[in-house]
Every structure is written in C-alpha cells, then in structure tokens.
C-alpha cells in the first residue's frame, strides 16, 4: 500500500485538527495530520487556558495540545511536518501538495486556523522583533520592569495585557473606542492590575526607535492631539486572518476569507470539511475547535463509508 495514501488528511494541528485526528484514528481510519510548524496552533502562544473544562489547573496552550497530540498518536494518527501549498481534486478524493511531497486522501479536514493581523502603524514592520511583538508568552520575559503598550481592546489584547502586567513595570492599553470589546471576565482581570492604564479613544500613530523601540506616538481622538509615550515594547493584538489562501477556488469562503461550513462541518466541496478558527464560526475557542473536530470526523467517516 502506498505510504502517502490515507483515508483522511487533516491540515493543521491545532485543537480542531488534533481532536479530528483522535476521532478519526480511533475509528480505525488511516489518518494523517500535516502541520507546517509546531503542534498546537495559535493557542500555544497564550498563557493559561482557564476555560477548557477539565483541564489541569495551570494548564498552558502547549501542555493541553501536547496531550491532545499524544492521545491521537496513541490511536495510530500519523503526523507530517510540511507546508501545504495546494489542494487538488483527484480520482476518489484529493491530492494535497506540500513543499516536500504529495499526499492523497479520500476526505480532507481543514483546520489551518488564523494568524495575527498587523495594526498598520508606521514603524510596525521596521521594529518587528525589535520591540514589536505579536506573542506575549514568547516575549514577555524581555520586558521585565519595562514600559510597554498593548494595542487592541478585544479578549486577546486584554488577556495578554493582564499576563504582561506581571512582567512590565508600566503598561498602556491603547484602544480606539471608549469601551473595551473584551468579555467582562477578562476586563475584571486588568481592573486589578495597578500598573495597567487603559487609554480609551486613542489610536497608535507611529512606533519610533533607533535599532529598537523607544516610543509610541498616539493620538487622542477626543482631544484631537498627538503625543509620544516613551516605552520599550509594543504588543499588537488586533484580531486575526484565516489561513485559507491555498483554498481559493476549492471551497467557498466568506468575505473575511473564512471557510463557509454547515453544522456537519461540510464545506461547499464534497469530502472537504473545515473546523476551528478557520471556519465562519460565531465563537473561536479551544473547546469549540475541539467540538468541530469531533463533528467533522464523524461526518467524514460517514462520507468515506458512502
């Protein structure tokens, strides 16, 4: 039997893909998960995962998804580390074209997640990795006792600001509206952080520095004035974009580029399913991605059986 032929190929090893991998391999389907970087997906860049029921106290995105990965492997799920550049219709299924090889599967489950947006501020690109960061877990340690800003007012921004406040001396949250978008449970956390100050109705204008970040120019929308805040780091958390470029023309996408699915996680293409953050779902959480993975696995199995 050809080693590159599978019943199910899952693209992306975040919680949705890993859950689908567990269900598919446990149903004795020959299952492959292809991952371009590290197992676990975007949740590995967050700190504590408090809202996945049953997870150990203090569980991190990495520890939780590492266990999901082991569980799938225990039932025979295989992993390949490669970058998927295209998906093509083939006889009896689909061909998955990667940088280092090709795979064939009767059905596909797409769980490629999303990647962080840039804020589009002058200097953001220039100082990326030199004071500008998109990952608090990765970079918080560089800012012990220092002054930093977080751009954004959503759940990610506020949750990560709370985490960063343990490291930073002073922290400014720069939010463009006069109320936060984040859920009240996350807002409550920063309310208790004495070193955190939220600048409402402020937009970032320019990240300045010499070799590394030294200041952020902000504009107060209410006062219609610009001023500089001297600081050492700027963390950007202004939402995400789906990883669906390689699927254009293969499955229907919504106006944001997210994959359109029905309640069985079926896409517009027969035999292709989508789960987790990459699909047009009302809630993007580990638990919803994992649940999507289970649903997709069951209906992918049914599809193959037909």
Residues 109 and 33: their CA atoms lie apart, in Å, by: 9
Q: Which stretch binds ligand NAP (CB under 6 A): 105-113, 153-161, 191-199, 223-231?
A: 153-161
Nearest Cα residue to 39 out of 84, 80, 4: 80
Please report whether residue 112 would count as binding ligand NAP according to CB under 6 A. no
Identify the sign of the CA torsion 201, 203, 209, 212. positive
Per-position x/- string for 264-293, each x denoting binding to ligand NAP as judged by CB under 6 A, each - no binding = --------------------x---------
Rounded to whole angstroms, how far apart are CA atoms 68 and 63?
9
Residue closer to ligand NAP (CB basis): 78 or 124? 124
Which residues are known catalytic residues?
135, 138-139
Q: Rg (Cα) of the chain, in Å, rounded?
A: 21
d(C-alpha 169, C-alpha 51), whole Å: 28
Buried b (16+ CB within 10 A) or exposed e, 254-285: eeebbbebeeebbbebebbbbbbbbbbbeebb
CB of 304 to ligand NAP, least distance (A): 32
- What does each C-alpha distance from 45 to 22, 136, 140, 235, 239 come to in angstroms? 22, 7, 11, 13, 14
Binds ligand NAP (CB under 6 A): choice among 37, 85, 90, 120: 120
- Calpha distance 176→152 (Å, rounded): 8
Strand arrangement, sheet containing 225-230: 202-210, 212-220, 225-230
Q: Which is nearer to ligand NAP, 94 or 134 (CB)?
A: 134
Q: Which is nearer to ligand NAP, 51 or 262 (CB)?
A: 51
User: Minimum distance from CB of 288 to ligand NAP (Å)?
Assistant: 10
Distance of closest approach, residue 204 Cβ to ligand NAP, in angstroms: 6
Q: Closer to ligand NAP at the Cβ: 17 or 93?
A: 17
Determine the Cα angle at 22 with ends 31 and 137, to 5°: 110
Q: Answer yes or no whether residue 219 interacts with ligand NAP by CB under 6 A.
A: no
Candidates 25-33, 71-79, 175-183, 288-296 — which segment interacts with ligand NAP by CB under 6 A? Answer: 175-183
Q: Which is nearer to ligand NAP, 153 or 271 (CB)?
A: 153
Q: Does 119 bind ligand NAP (CB under 6 A)?
A: yes
Q: What does the binding site for ligand NAP look like in residue numbers (CB under 6 A)?
A: 51, 119-120, 151-157, 159, 176-177, 181, 183, 186, 237-240, 284
């Amino acid at each position: 039997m050809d080693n590159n032929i599978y019943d199910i190929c899952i693209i992306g090893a975040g919680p949705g893909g890993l859950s689908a991998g567990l269900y598919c391999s446990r149903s004795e389907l020959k299952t492959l998960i292809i991952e371009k970087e590290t197992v676990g997906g975007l949740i590995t860049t967050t700190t504590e995962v408090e809202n996945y029921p049953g997870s150990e106290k203090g569980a991190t995105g990495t520890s939780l998804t590492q266990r999901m990965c082991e569980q799938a492997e225990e039932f025979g799920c295989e992993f390949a580390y490669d970058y998927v550049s295209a998906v093509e219709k083939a006889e009896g299924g689909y061909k998955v074209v990667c940088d280092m090889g090709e795979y064939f599967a009767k059905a596909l489950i797409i769980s490629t997640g999303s990647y962080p947006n840039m804020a589009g501020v002058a200097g953001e690109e220039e100082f990326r990795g030199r004071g500008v960061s998109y990952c608090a877990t990765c970079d918080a340690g560089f800012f012990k006792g220092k002054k930093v800003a977080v751009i954004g007012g959503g759940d990610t921004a506020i949750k990560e600001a709370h985490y960063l406040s343990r490291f930073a001396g002073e922290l400014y949250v720069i939010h463009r509206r006069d109320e936060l978008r984040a859920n009240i449970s996350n807002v409550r956390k920063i309310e208790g952080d004495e070193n955190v100050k939220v600048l409402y109705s402020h937009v970032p204008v320019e990240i300045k520095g010499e070799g590394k970040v030294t200041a952020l120019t902000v504009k107060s929308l209410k006062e219609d004035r610009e001023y500089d805040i001297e600081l050492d780091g700027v963390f950007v958390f202004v939402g995400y974009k789906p990883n669906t470029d390689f699927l254009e023309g293969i499955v229907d996408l919504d106006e944001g580029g997210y994959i359109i699915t029905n309640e069985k996680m079926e896409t517009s293409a027969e035999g292709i399913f989508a789960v987790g953050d990459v699909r047009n779902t009302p809630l993007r959480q580990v638990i919803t991605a994992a649940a999507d993975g289970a649903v997709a696995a069951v209906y992918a199995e049914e599809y193959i059986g037909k």
